[in-house]
Structure formats: C-alpha cells, structure tokens
Amino acid sequence: MISGLTEDAVVEHAGTLRDLAVRKAGMHDIRPILHLINGYAAKGIMLPRTEFEVSEDIRDFSVVVSGGRLLGCGALHFYTPTIGEIRSLAVAEESKTHGVGRRLIEALVREASGYSLDAVFAFTYVAEFFRKMGFQEVERGELPLKAWKDCLRCPKFQCCDETAVIRILRPEHWGEVQQHLGEEGAVLIQFPVLRLPKRTEPQADTPK
C-alpha cells in the first residue's frame, strides 16, 4: 500500500532541502523505515511492517536522506523476470513538498530499468501523483497476481479502494498487448492473468 502523498509531491517548492540524497537502504535504516511506515499504518493508510519483514526485504528498499535523517523510503519488489512492484512508498509529513516522492520513484524506476524489467506497477491512493510520474491507470484484474501474503492480511481485502497504476519501461519487449485509448489518450495494457484450472468434482460410484 502507498502512503498519503499528494500530487504536488512531484514538484520541488521554494525552500526545498538541497542536500537530499537517494541511496539503497542498509540494515541501520530498518528502525527509521519502520517508524515511517508504521506511522502511516496507524492511520490505516499503509500495512504495518515488522522488523523481521523489513529485514527480510531490506535489499528491495531505497531511501532518501537529508542531514543524516531518513525522509522517505520505497521498495522495488520483483514478481517475474519482467514485472516488478513499487511498494512501501512513504514520505515524512514535513517533506511531502520537497520532491522526496519524485526522487524515490525516479530511483526505483532506474533500478527496474537496470534489471531490464518491462514494467513496474503499484497500488495507490494518489493516482494523480503517479500519473505525473509517467504511470497509467489500469483495471486491477489486468495486473498479475499480487502477493497473497500482503493482501490476505489487509483489512480492506474484501473492499480494496486502491487504484492500480503501471509504467511500461520496454514496450518493444512487452509482447502481445491490448491497447485501449481512453478519453485523455491513456493507454491501458492487458496483463497476463493467472488462470487456475477448473476444479472437477469427484464422480460418485455407480451402483451395480
């Protein structure tokens, strides 16, 4: 789940911090990452994380720091050799108009491109922010199966109100896609959806 960023998090306003640095997270970042994410989780905006979970996934995370203080975090999680998810994106309240969110997305997209991913997607409450970062909205059913370990423990599992967004990084490698032009020229990409075989009921023995 994505934090409560606003669409103007893309722009660096006057007075923006000038010593922002983006880097991959280290083990010493676990505590401030937890503090940031679980602060939003307490408001029902993000899923809570444990120290074990963040430790296990620390290599997925990138962070933005200024003056030794962690101002934002985000993770790139791989699902297939071609698709990744941007998740756990959180920015400190006082830093939302300092361009921290934009820098995190740019860093995570560069990382995805470095791994030759064809696309990255996200689930968000701030679709406008992602649109300004080159993402497009898609129907949730058009995305590949999301990690059930996250969805099943979400209190909104049965009534999810997040928006699915995607950014195609290598359209020439995407393969067979369906493109639909919306009213504003948005392109919707048909993702392969996992289809489970139909379950066959056991036949009762025929009495002789």
Confidence of residue 148 (pLDDT cuts 50, 70, 90): very low
* Residue 39: CATH number of its domain: 3.40.630.30
Does some domain include residue 88? yes
Does some domain include residue 200? no
Does some domain include residue 196? no
| pLDDT per position as a tens digit, 161-181 | 678 899 999 887 765 433 432
Does some domain include residue 148? yes
| pLDDT per position as a tens digit, 75-131 | 999 988 888 999 999 999 887 778 899 999 999 999 999 999 999 988 888 889 999
Does some domain include residue 17? yes
- Rounded Cα gap, residues 2 and 59, in angstroms: 19
Q: Is the pTM of this model over 0.75?
A: no
Does some domain include residue 197? no
The per-residue pLDDT for 59 is: 97
| pLDDT per position as a tens digit, 21-67 | 999 999 999 999 999 999 999 988 888 899 999 999 999 999 999 98
Residues 6+ apart with CB under 8 A from 49: 33, 34, 37, 38, 41, 88
**What domain count does the chain have?**
1
Among candidate residues 84, 64, 60, the one with its CA nearest the CA of residue 73:
64
- Rounded Cα gap, residues 156 and 160, in angstroms: 5
Containing domain of residue 174, as a range? Answer: 7-189
Does some domain include residue 206? no
Neighbours of 10 (CB within 10 A): 19
